[in-house]
Structure 1
Amino acid sequence: MVLLRGNGVGDEDRYVGLSDKAADAIGNAGPPAGSIVDRFPMTRFLPSWLPFMERVRYAQKWKPAIENVTNEPFEAALSDAKNKTMKKCFVRERLEIYHENAENGLPNSFAMDDIKGAAATVLIAGSETTATTVRLFIMYMMQNPRVQKRAQEEMDRVLRQGPGATATATQEEEQQPPRLPTWDDLPQLHYLKLVLQEVFRSSPLSPLGIPHASLEDDEYRGMFIPRGTVVYQNVWAMTHDRTVYSDPDAFLPERYLPKGSGGGFGNSSSSDDTVLGRGEPFPTGNFGFGRRVCVGKHLAENSLLIVFATILATLDVGPPKGPDGQPRDVDVKLSFRGQVYPYPFECSLTPRSEVAVQLLDDAAAAQ
């Protein structure tokens, strides 16, 4: 919302609720372009009560959720612009260009509805995909304590080298970050970037990609693709291809390092730091392909990295504990209906120190 309207939101903000409802509607709608209307367009004229028109009934039910998240935030933004209270943001910039062109008699390459639609798309797509990826990250950290420890060691080292850090630190002080991570720290978080890529590879949010129609006749590996064919990209198969990724079901951020390298990565002191690089490529397809690639890719990656870094700097992620105080096994199930996401699961988030708690409290109070 800050990027779109210039204003932040709280947990109970109405726009957060609108975005959540729209994201739920889209996430549970099934595979894109998979309805009978997509496959047989003439069926759109049939009554929606027919048994095979389930997806049409679903769309009718949830249409208000999409309309609300599209219209209400934009109308509020127009009001802010009229009252000259809108901060610098995407909508303000687009409106200024639109009105300036209109006043000077110049044609606009976009209409007012285009601005509204683009803003709604960013709000729906950006909020849910980011939240789901964070949940997946927490799941993988809970399941892979070795990776979590290694990433925390890198995080602690980077924070100690920054403002307020001392040249030497005791073991207790090493787990008391002098500050929270910032955007300036991201270039030094090499291992964390590998962790992000492994989250993308292990659980691509759109397992079948976003379908597109071929604009002209094409041929791929001897297979003829007529113009207008709906083409899916099987991203899940690509990121779990055993000819590309060895042991694809294992969560191994080191797999992207040059083959044979990685032991003691980042001066790690972990007892298990001998997992070596395998020279495997970063996953592709999570943000689309070609000219249809998501324009928010770099923003999304950096936003996720800063969230991951903050979690690692301040919290230990682990399994929940039973009545006897011992960790319990957690079998997390993934949904593959439309978008990959983990079903609700229990975990333990334990502050790494009192200093970490204070840093989080101060950051929350400053919002």
Structure 2
Amino acid sequence: MSMLADNPLTALAVACGVALVVKSHCATRKDGPPLPPGPTPLPMVGNVRGIDTDAPWLTYKAWGDTYGDLVYSSLFRQHIIILNSEQDARTLLDQRSHIYSDRPELATNELFGVSWNSVFMRYGPKWRMHRRLFHQAFRPDASLLYRPMQLRKGHQLILDILETPTQFLHHLQHHSSSIIMSAAYGYETVSNDDPYVTIIEKALAILLEYLTPQASAVIGAFPFLLHLPPWFPGMSIKKHAAESKKCTKQWVESPFQYVEESIAAGTATPSMASNYLRKFQGLGGSGPTTTDIKEVSATAFAAGSETTKSTLSLFIIAMIRHPDVQKRAQFLIDSVVGTDRLPTFEDRPSLPYLDAIFREVLRWYPVFPLALPHATTQDDIYKGYHIPKGSMIIPNVWAMTRDEIRYPYASEFRPERFLDDNGELTDDTVSFAWGFGRRICVGRYLAEASIWSAMALILATFDLAKAKDSAGRDIEVELTSPPGVTISPRPFVCSITPRVPGMNSEKLATLISLSS
């Protein structure tokens, strides 16, 4: 496991030996309540030592086991408060949201060209405008309007998998992208290498790897590093930032231009962007600007595509590793739906075990294990500890999913933990996987429906199993993720076969038509 001190950018900042005196924060203060307990920082750089940069949530959980659920750390001049329990996160981020709804000032946002993104935007009037637009488009009742489209995309997904099962990961990515592109822009993606999707996914890949609090802290503490040439050791971040900036500009502009041209031609279909352009056109200062609509639409893609694709990949891994769970779910689908049609959203209330699987996938390996950091707008006191203004607040969702009191045998995949003695779903919806407070994911209802429908259709149509090597031995599925802010499984191989012998594209298309 790599350590933060081994990161080239951080090592460069430390090695520079600049005459910057950073106050060392300890667990006590001379005046007023103490800071929360935490690991002892180094004098200049703070808590650089010992952090697993590939999976910092593991380090933060270990700190929680040592110091308690509320942990203080620092990185250069940045106060960091880690919340390892859902109760603390609810109390602070939900109940005190007027203090905890800001985002940290991350130097990398401007560097990588994403300061327009609603997710990273500081709390204020512009963010509230964005939030209202998101809520109107993706609130629970509005999300129901997308269901016919989601089911249609789900049908295309299983057709694609049937035709080329070895390309299932590509099909999952295309499925996730096509849903949010349709919802945000009314745009129908092409099956392979769609130009709009390609440029957006290229930017996202860079952002998810480099847009970390650690990198931002280094740049914020040592801004002179940005004046060093890209070839200088540790400064490859500048090259990636320049590439990101170019991609994100196209990400914001190109799909939106498609919507504007479609409206002018009279061919635009209902979508977030087209609906808002028609609704607010000509209102001037009394409504959102075209720029607001453009930025919110672009943010929607980033928020929806990665979550859906990664969650479905984790679902497939879980089914391969736990064939008993897969068989039980398929038996229940057959009992409720039968074999002469495919599942629809109307079947969902009758399939609680499928929802239990969905919740367990969210809990087992949360896609955003540290959520996204919040920031405090004023000083606060909690449990007798001082939380300074401007602190970065990190909800360690991973630690919450590994709470052995709430989730016994937490490292194991057990969907039944979400069912009561009568086989009905419990009240635990794993809502912390979607964030907290005013920053909770507004598109979660759309994402939930996309994931559930894909899961149901895949289970109804296919058997998922381990692939075989040339000697006929099982190929184990390893769950590993590239470094970054998300858990997104690296490519893996598996066996995907139709449950019905002789199933082909024509027969599946007929089954789809009977289900519509």
TM-score of the superposed pair, with normalisation by structure 1: 0.82
Describe the shift of the 1:117–1:44 C-alpha distance in structure 2 as closer, same or farther (beyond 3 A). Answer: farther
Q: Which digits, 9 at most, give the CA deviation of each residue in 1:273-307, with x for residues without a partner? A: xxxx9x79443422110111111011100110000
Q: Equivalent residue of 1:158, what SS?
A: helix
Structure 2 partner of 1:144 = 322
Deviation at residue 197 of structure 1 after TM alignment: 0.7
Cα distance in structure 2, aligned partners of 1:44 and 1:192: 50
- Is the contact between residue 374 and residue 393 of structure 2 (CA under 8 Å) also seen in structure 1? yes
Match of 2:404 among 232, 242, 260: 242
Cα distance in structure 1, aligned partners of 2:369 and 2:346: 33
Indicate whether 1:191 and 2:369 are aligned: no
Q: Which digits, 9 at most, give the CA deviation of each residue in 1:117-138, with x for residues without a partner? A: 1111111221122111111111
- 1:22-33 aligned at under 5 Å gives the runs 22-32=203-213
Structure 2 partner of 1:83 = 265
- Is the contact between residue 32 and residue 338 of structure 1 (CA under 8 Å) also seen in structure 2? no
Cα distance in structure 1, aligned partners of 2:219 and 2:512: 45
Cα distance in structure 2, aligned partners of 1:211 and 1:99: 35
Q: Which digits, 9 at most, give the CA deviation of each residue in 1:216-255, with x for residues without a partner? A: 2122322211222111111111111223211111000111
Q: Equivalent residue of 1:349, what SS?
A: strand
Indicate whether 1:5 and 2:167 are aligned: no
- Is the contact between residue 317 and residue 477 of structure 2 (CA under 8 Å) also seen in structure 1? no
Q: Equivalent residue of 1:329, what SS?
A: coil
Structure 2 partner of 1:169 = none
| Structure 2: gaps spanning 5 or more residues | 1-180
Cα distance in structure 2, aligned partners of 1:362 and 1:10: 22
- Is the contact between residue 218 and residue 226 of structure 1 (CA under 8 Å) also seen in structure 2? yes
Q: Which moved more, 1:312-321 or 1:16-25?
A: 16-25
Cα distance in structure 1, aligned partners of 2:203 and 2:508: 30
Q: Which digits, 9 at most, give the CA deviation of each residue in 1:22-73, with x for residues without a partner? A: 2212222253574236643855864454645554443223221211111110
Indicate whether 1:253 and 2:415 are aligned: yes
Structure 2 partner of 1:228 = 390
| Amino acid of the structure 2 residue aligned with 1:82 | A
Q: Which moved more, 1:290-299 or 1:357-366?
A: 357-366
| Amino acid of the structure 2 residue aligned with 1:3 | A
Q: Which digits, 9 at most, give the CA deviation of each residue in 1:93-125, with x for residues without a partner? A: 1101221424xxxx3332211111111111122
Structure 2 partner of 1:294 = 441
Cα distance in structure 2, aligned partners of 1:336 and 1:150: 34
Match of 1:70 among 252, 270, 281: 252
Describe the shift of the 1:343–1:303 C-alpha distance in structure 2 as closer, same or farther (beyond 3 A). Answer: same
- 1:273-292 aligned at under 5 Å gives the runs 281-292=428-439
- Is the contact between residue 219 and residue 226 of structure 2 (CA under 8 Å) also seen in structure 1? no
Match of 2:375 among 213, 217, 231: 213
Indicate whether 1:18 and 2:199 are aligned: yes
Structure 2 partner of 1:321 = 468
| Amino acid of the structure 2 residue aligned with 1:8 | E
Deviation at residue 88 of structure 1 after TM alignment: 1.1
Deviation at residue 158 of structure 1 after TM alignment: 1.9
| Amino acid of the structure 2 residue aligned with 1:133 | T
Q: Equivalent residue of 2:434, what SS?
A: coil
Match of 1:181 among 310, 335, 343: 343
| Amino acid of the structure 1 residue aligned with 2:310 | T
Deviation at residue 151 of structure 1 after TM alignment: 1.0
Describe the shift of the 1:70–1:365 C-alpha distance in structure 2 as closer, same or farther (beyond 3 A). Answer: farther
Describe the shift of the 1:83–1:41 C-alpha distance in structure 2 as closer, same or farther (beyond 3 A). Answer: farther
Structure 1 partner of 2:310 = 132
Cα distance in structure 2, aligned partners of 1:138 and 1:94: 37
- Is the contact between residue 18 and residue 65 of structure 1 (CA under 8 Å) also seen in structure 2? yes
Describe the shift of the 1:246–1:130 C-alpha distance in structure 2 as closer, same or farther (beyond 3 A). Answer: same
Q: Equivalent residue of 1:335, what SS?
A: coil
Q: Which moved more, 1:43-52 or 1:206-215?
A: 43-52
Q: Equivalent residue of 2:381, what SS?
A: strand
Cα distance in structure 2, aligned partners of 1:129 and 1:201: 13
Aligned residues: 332
Describe the shift of the 1:96–1:217 C-alpha distance in structure 2 as closer, same or farther (beyond 3 A). Answer: same
| Amino acid of the structure 2 residue aligned with 1:143 | R
Q: Which digits, 9 at most, give the CA deviation of each residue in 1:294-341, with x for residues without a partner? A: 110111001100000000000000000233445333333233522101
| Structure 1: gaps spanning 5 or more residues | 161-176, 267-276
| Amino acid of the structure 2 residue aligned with 1:283 | V
Indicate whether 1:98 and 2:273 are aligned: no
Superposition misfits of 4+ residues, deviation over 6 angstroms: 363-366
Cα distance in structure 2, aligned partners of 1:237 and 1:14: 39
- 1:159-170 aligned at under 5 Å gives the runs 159-160=337-338
Q: Equivalent residue of 1:124, what SS?
A: helix
Deviation at residue 20 of structure 1 after TM alignment: 2.0
Describe the shift of the 1:284–1:183 C-alpha distance in structure 2 as closer, same or farther (beyond 3 A). Answer: closer
Match of 1:350 among 497, 502, 509: 497
Cα distance in structure 2, aligned partners of 1:291 and 1:356: 47
Deviation at residue 363 of structure 1 after TM alignment: 7.9
